[in-house]
Chain A
Amino acid sequence: MNQSSQKATGSKPDKVKTDNYVRIEGLRKEFDGFVAVDDVSFSIRKGEIFALLGASGCGKSTLLRMLAGFERPTAGSILLDDEDIVGLAPFDRPINMMFQSYALFPHMSVEDNVAFGLKQDGMGKDEIQARVNEMLGLVQMGKLAKRKPHQLSGGQQQRVALARSLAKSPKLLLLDEPMGALDKKLRSQMQIELVNIVERLGVTCVMVTHDQEEAMTMAHRIAVMDAGRIRQLGTPDEIYEQPNCRFTAEFIGSVNLFEGRIEEDEKDYVTIRTPALEKPIYVGHGVTGYDGMSVAFAIRPEKIAISKDEPALSYNKVQGVIEEIAYFGSHSVYHVRLANGSKVLCNFVNLKRWASENFTWNDSVWLSWKDNAGVVLTS
């Protein structure tokens, strides 16, 4: 889904306009001196699914509520399709939201819930009915149109909430923790379905989530937030493979960090002296830094190879002892204690049946990685 949307936006002539469909500039929100959103600026492309990802209290929900109009920014501007919407009340914004616990009107039937927004626009009765049927068909809820929300399951309620928020063809769709109220199995199924519906309609979408898997499955681009600021903004693979700071590296997935200093800083490689390894770590990409700079080398557990025998490489290898094993079936995670006391996680894909039996507790093993397996973090 990533590629298709990028191709679509890239080929359009007015690329600047579609790239800046939603433009947020210097947006700030303070509550009694507490800064919830701290001078945030970014743009959202037309037709993309954009995720605000962060732990609770990072400001992502406040940001979403400012987009919806429920919170007034302390400073900054929000431009939607070149129109400043900061001064508009929620009921005047061409933006609809799917609420975290759906906020379906309990006294109205499914179809009345979906029709609610259309009625506010003074649309004709037949037209409303047609649109409601179309929307309920889209989310496969046509048969339950006469039911009340309390007669529906969680997944069905979510479909109704989605239909209700899409009925007015909003310029921007907001999803607040869209899968928060669903159990795990239903969640992964609904994630894909929701993305398909949103992409079919071509709606631009901003979602808020604390669940990184959800953000990575659903979003085209992710903004990782912490303490009211965006720490990194990029596609899911960029954020995973190329974290720009210790925070994102540790927030997304699991990571091994080797703290150290730059020893050699060349154009196409750097070496990092770290107490964990005998020889410096060799990294096959340059960094904007200087000799002796304090940095961290970050490497994901699945990019470290584990072996009984010493690898043939002359660098990027270290010996340790298996301390703990977590067996996941498809792969195992080994916690390896190095000589200097630091612990390294290493994934091993169980390619063959019973492959996990090769390594056991207290085995002395070698860990190694290629020169392009990790990244150097300067902040």
Chain B
Amino acid sequence: MNAVVKPRSARLLGSRWLVIAVPYLWLLVFFAIPLAIAFKISFSQAAIAMPPYTPIVNWVDGHPSLDIHLKNYLYLVNDSLYVNAYLSSIKIAVISTILCLLIGYPMAYAIARMPAATRNIALMLVILPSWTSFLIRIYAWIGILKNNGLLNNFLLWTGLIDQPLAIMHTPVAVYIGIVYAYLPFMVLPLYANLVKLDLRLLEAASDLGAKPWKAFLKVTLPLSKSGIIAGSMLVMIPVVGEFVIPEMLGGPDTLMIGRILWQEFFNNRDWPVASAVSIVMLLLLIIPIMIFHRAQSREMEGRLA
């Protein structure tokens, strides 16, 4: 019997490995190796050289000697600029996530309750803007928000204001840009969750005496928890490292770690500090990612059982 089973399972195993190997190879070449390089650079010293940092392993008389520096990391802790940038990034990410949730939840809820035909159109409208380049869409917001932009001209025309509002280059502009750009990432997982909600559960809640608002709080909201977590993670994680939006819409005082990273790398040409900044950012993001992962695996467990 073994003789019959073995080749078949071996063949299956082979094809399984092949399927798994392709994405893993991709991740290895374009994610793991660059990350390892950045990690290595974060322990070296800046130098006026090509590449602009000192090597970690020196060969003196055929003997290797290690040259590891922790001062990049100490520098991040000691210089308040970095600590503030991290905190400010996280603050902006958290606030934008909450804003996206507050706007995205009703949107996703409304779409999920639409008749099937209009539902697809509404989903299309959510996705459609991302068919244009991200950069162009953020540029468009400059045209809307600047002092003599669309919004101010419109408000002046209606007579609501007599002085143009200074929105451009303020945190408000950054929030507008972030919420605009990341809203679909909130709406889509929430929609996918809410559309699966068994409406009989709401009928049951109503039948047992719960008014619609109470039924929402006690049934719909807790059952959409995994969608809320998924959407929040999809917004929060990339927003922490966001560079384009604060650079284009924010003022010089908009402190975000993505901008610091850019400045360290391109303006100061301090690759080791830039690498350390990115490694610390990654570590900070791992915490919410792990929470997300735990919530998701718990959800899967519930489904399968």
- Asked if B67 is at the interface of the complex by the 8 Å CB criterion, the answer is no
List, in ascending order, chain B residues with CB within 8 A of A107's CB.
222-223
CB contact between A168 and one of B204, B209, B219, B222 (< 8 Å): that residue: B209
One of A3-11, A90-98, A219-227 at the interface: A90-98
Mark contacts of A86-127 with chain B using CB atoms, 8 A cut-off: 1 yes-contact digit, 0 otherwise.
000111100111010101111100000000110011000000
- Asked if A85 is at the interface of the complex by the 8 Å CB criterion, the answer is no
Cβ A116 vs Cβ B205 within 8 A: yes
Cβ A96 vs Cβ B223 within 8 A: no
Residue of B nearest to A164 (CB): B208
Cβ A168 vs Cβ B208 within 8 A: yes
List, in ascending order, chain A residues with CB within 8 A of B214's CB.
120
- Asked if A151 is at the interface of the complex by the 8 Å CB criterion, the answer is yes
Task: Give the docked Cα–Cα distance between A107 and B225 (Å).
Answer: 10
Cβ A116 vs Cβ B210 within 8 A: yes
B199 smallest CB distance to A (angstroms): 9
Mark contacts of B200-213 with chain A using CB atoms, 8 A cut-off: 1 yes-contact digit, 0 otherwise.
11011111111100
Given A120-B214, A151-B305, CB of A105 within 8 Å of CB of B206? no
Interface size of A in residues (CB-CB distance below 8 Å): 27
- Asked if A68 is at the interface of the complex by the 8 Å CB criterion, the answer is yes
Residue of A nearest to B225 (CB): A107
Given A70-B203, A90-B203, CB of A120 within 8 Å of CB of B223? no
List, in ascending order, chain A residues with CB within 8 A of B218's CB.
105, 116
- Asked if A15 is at the interface of the complex by the 8 Å CB criterion, the answer is no
Question: Which A residues from 309 to 330 make CB contacts under 8 A with B?
Answer: none
List, in ascending order, chain B residues with CB within 8 A of A101's CB.
200
Cβ A96 vs Cβ B208 within 8 A: yes
Cβ A120 vs Cβ B204 within 8 A: no
Given A116-B205, A150-B305, A151-B305, CB of A103 within 8 Å of CB of B200? yes
A-B interface contact total, Cβ < 8 Å: 61
- Asked if B198 is at the interface of the complex by the 8 Å CB criterion, the answer is yes
Cβ B201 vs Cβ A120 within 8 A: no
List, in ascending order, chain A residues with CB within 8 A of B205's CB.
105, 116
Cβ A103 vs Cβ B222 within 8 A: no
List, in ascending order, chain A residues with CB within 8 A of B223's CB.
106-107
List, in ascending order, chain B residues with CB within 8 A of A95's CB.
207
Cβ B203 vs Cβ A117 within 8 A: no
Task: Give the docked Cα–Cα distance between A99 and B199 (Å).
Answer: 12
- Asked if B115 is at the interface of the complex by the 8 Å CB criterion, the answer is no
A278 smallest CB distance to B (angstroms): 58
- Asked if B302 is at the interface of the complex by the 8 Å CB criterion, the answer is yes
Task: Give the docked Cα–Cα distance between A116 and B222 (Å).
Answer: 14
Task: Give the docked Cα–Cα distance between A117 and B204 (Å).
Answer: 10
Task: Give the docked Cα–Cα distance between A151 and B304 (Å).
Answer: 10
Mark contacts of A343-364 with chain B using CB atoms, 8 A cut-off: 1 yes-contact digit, 0 otherwise.
0000000000000000000000
Task: Give the docked Cα–Cα distance between A105 and B222 (Å).
Answer: 10
Cβ A120 vs Cβ B208 within 8 A: yes
Cβ A117 vs Cβ B209 within 8 A: yes
Cβ B207 vs Cβ A91 within 8 A: yes
List, in ascending order, chain B residues with CB within 8 A of A70's CB.
203, 206
CB contact between B209 and one of A68, A91, A105 (< 8 Å): that residue: A91
List, in ascending order, chain A residues with CB within 8 A of B206's CB.
69-70, 89-91
Cβ B207 vs Cβ A96 within 8 A: yes
List, in ascending order, chain B residues with CB within 8 A of A148's CB.
302
List, in ascending order, chain B residues with CB within 8 A of A96's CB.
207-208
Cβ A103 vs Cβ B210 within 8 A: no
Task: Give the docked Cα–Cα distance between A116 and B203 (Å).
Answer: 13
Cβ A99 vs Cβ B204 within 8 A: yes
Residue of A nearest to B304 (CB): A150
Question: Which A residues from 8 to 46 make CB contacts under 8 A with B?
Answer: none
B229 smallest CB distance to A (angstroms): 14
List, in ascending order, chain A residues with CB within 8 A of B219's CB.
105
Most buried by B among A70, A116, A168: A116
List, in ascending order, chain A residues with CB within 8 A of B302's CB.
106, 148, 150
Mark contacts of B221-248 with chain A using CB atoms, 8 A cut-off: 1 yes-contact digit, 0 otherwise.
0110000000000000000000000000
Residue of A nearest to B200 (CB): A103
List, in ascending order, chain B residues with CB within 8 A of A97's CB.
204, 207
A125 smallest CB distance to B (angstroms): 16
List, in ascending order, chain B residues with CB within 8 A of A106's CB.
201, 223, 302
Task: Give the docked Cα–Cα distance between A237 and B253 (Å).
Answer: 86
B136 smallest CB distance to A (angstroms): 43
List, in ascending order, chain B residues with CB within 8 A of A69's CB.
206-207
Instruction: A68-B203, A91-B209 are known; give 17 further A-B pairs, CB within 8 A.
Output: A69-B207, A90-B207, A91-B206, A96-B207, A96-B208, A97-B204, A103-B201, A104-B204, A105-B201, A105-B204, A105-B219, A117-B208, A120-B209, A120-B214, A164-B208, A168-B208, A168-B209
Interface residues of A (CB under 8 A from B): 68-70, 89-92, 95-97, 99, 101, 103-107, 116-117, 120-121, 148, 150-151, 164-165, 168
| List of 6 A-B pairs having minimum Cβ-Cβ separation, nearest first | A117-B208, A120-B209, A103-B204, A103-B200, A90-B206, A91-B209
Of the A-B pairs whose beta carbons lie under 8 Å apart in the complex, a sample of 6, sorted by A's number, is: A90-B207, A96-B207, A106-B223, A107-B222, A107-B223, A120-B208
